Homo-oligomer: A and B are copies of this chain.
Amino acid sequence: MSLTIQRDKNEFLYQQVISMIRHMESASTLRPGDRLPSLRQLSEKLSISIPTVKQAYGELERQGLIEARPKSGYFLKPSRYDAKQPKRVSLSQQPENVSRQSLIEKVFDAIQQDGVMPLGVANPSAVHSSDKALARIMRQVISKAGSRAIAYGPMDGYEPLKRQLAIRYLELGLQVDPHEVLVTNGAQEALSIALQCVAQAGDIIAVESPTYFGVLELIESLGMMALEIPLCPEEGVWVSDLASAIEEHEVKACIFSASISNPLGSFMSNETQKEIVELLESKNIPMIEDDVYGDLYFTERRGGSAQLFSKKGLVLSCSSFSKTAAPGYRIGWLLTNRFADKARRLKRAYSCSTSLLNQWTLSEFISSGEYERNMRSLRQGLRRNKDRMTALVHRYFPPGTRVSEPQGGGVLWLELPKGNDSEEIFYRALEHNISICPGSLFSPSDKFSRCIRISFGIPWSGKVENSLQQLGALCHK
């Protein structure tokens, strides 16, 4: 069916374009996240001028129905739902012993079951898989490397990969000496080594709240205590809360997300990062930043790294390729800053070197330009999925459900109406072959028992929509 407008002399042409778009949206012809025709396309199809289309799109943007994305065009927004973000939690002033491990285990078991819709796993790279490019490059590396394809790599990482990473940091404005890059078995090992560089059993570690459960499990395994600092959905860690927390407690180190947090998907601006680093370094408190989602931003630019603002060298940064390219290669890295020697020794003692072939392949994946190309498509795909899933949450979940507006990453954070319990929903969803992450995992103090985390980092299909519908029906109104 070709595009038409009902020409009506009582309305301006641009208003008739608006009516047409609104009609298509209410008929679900256009869905949240869909791209609208370009100015030129619509002008040609409707035989009206480009300025008229532009006027219509501008008005729709002001009304909040669509949004312009630089270099990508206009897209239907999900914000018509008048959604509210999950509430900021109050500051807990008590360090907590952590004990989340048995529930985490159940969540991972659930993901591994055949036929289960994996909304519980954060695996965003699946949205635009780089498997074919990586397969091609790895085959080349195997041929080229000969016996080196199975050989021990250097203890602290494959030099060309470290150089590629240093080049990428240059784009962030960060000058990194390859010697300060320690390649690890994924970001989790980077976090583990970083934390053991700066703290020991019994120490208090400040974490954002809600925080990634892998951070809490690590703190638990090392016999440390977690002190929760509320995360503001819009701005990241609240500096005033952090200031009063370190005033009151002997905080030995902090673990915060860099620019994009998990599960909230909040964006921490460079200004906030700077304030936090200055505050912490003034008290000689090391900060570990978890930057695994930093490249998966939906904002106009990538957020920075707290490294940029470190003057005393107390910031350690962890990242990996697990969210952007190849989860199963298990390649991450740690910017060790002034802890280079200790970090290298811990790495050697705990797991020796890291898979050389996997590092080599990723190094060529970056230097060939494939990584960057793939990431652009991945970001677009994730953003589209985020809009689609947000719309489905509003359609299928009970009124009063709050949903995050992630600025990057691959997950939505939902706060369900009173009367819901996230662990109960986890078990009931599993009976319907749907895995989710119960909110109680993301805090040592059971702050988020009404929240769940669901992943939009999955290839889209009708089954996803069905699962969201089922999941929404499981929640109490």
Contacts and interface: CB of A to CB of B under 8 A. Distances in A.
Given A150-B129, A185-B185, A221-B346, A352 B330 contact: yes
B330 A185 contact: yes
B192 A351 contact: yes
Contact of A152 (B123, B142, B354): B123
Interface string A199-238: 0110000000000001001101111000000000000000
A147 interface: yes
Contact of A150 (B134, B147, B148, B346): B134
Given A185-B185, A329-B357, A192 B349 contact: yes
Given A188-B352, A218-B350, A352-B188, A142 B150 contact: no
A340 to B, nearest CB: 12
Interface residues of A, number: 65
A285 interface: no
Nearest to A143: B135
Interface string A454-477: 000000000000000000000000
Interface in A81-119: 101, 104-105, 108, 112
Nearest to A348: B217
A70 interface: no
Contacts of A356: 328
Interface in A330-351: 330, 344-346, 348-351
Given A186-B351, A214-B349, A150 B200 contact: no
Given A185-B330, A348-B217, A130 B105 contact: no
Given A146-B131, A150-B328, A358-B355, A155 B348 contact: no
A221 B345 contact: yes
A53 interface: no
B188 A351 contact: yes
B352 A328 contact: no
A258 interface: no
Nearest to A331: B355
A38 to B, nearest CB: 32
A415 interface: no
B328 A149 contact: yes
A101 B142 contact: no
A153 B123 CA distance: 12
A188 to B, nearest CB: 5
A328 B105 contact: no
B105 A131 contact: no
A197 B217 CA distance: 15
Nearest to A196: B221
A223 B322 CA distance: 31
Contact of A101 (B139, B149, B218, B345): B345
A126 interface: yes
B349 A329 contact: no
Nearest to A219: B349
A327 interface: yes
A200 B221 CA distance: 11
A56 interface: no
Given A108-B155, A139-B142, A345-B101, A150 B351 contact: no
11 contacts: A129-B150, A139-B142, A150-B326, A151-B328, A152-B322, A185-B185, A186-B351, A189-B350, A222-B349, A330-B354, A350-B350
Given A185-B185, A185-B189, A201-B201, 7 more contacts: A131-B147, A150-B329, A185-B351, A188-B349, A192-B350, A222-B349, A328-B353
Closest 10 A/B residue pairs (Cβ):
A221-B349, A328-B356, A150-B326, A189-B351, A131-B147, A152-B327, A185-B351, A217-B349, A188-B352, A192-B350
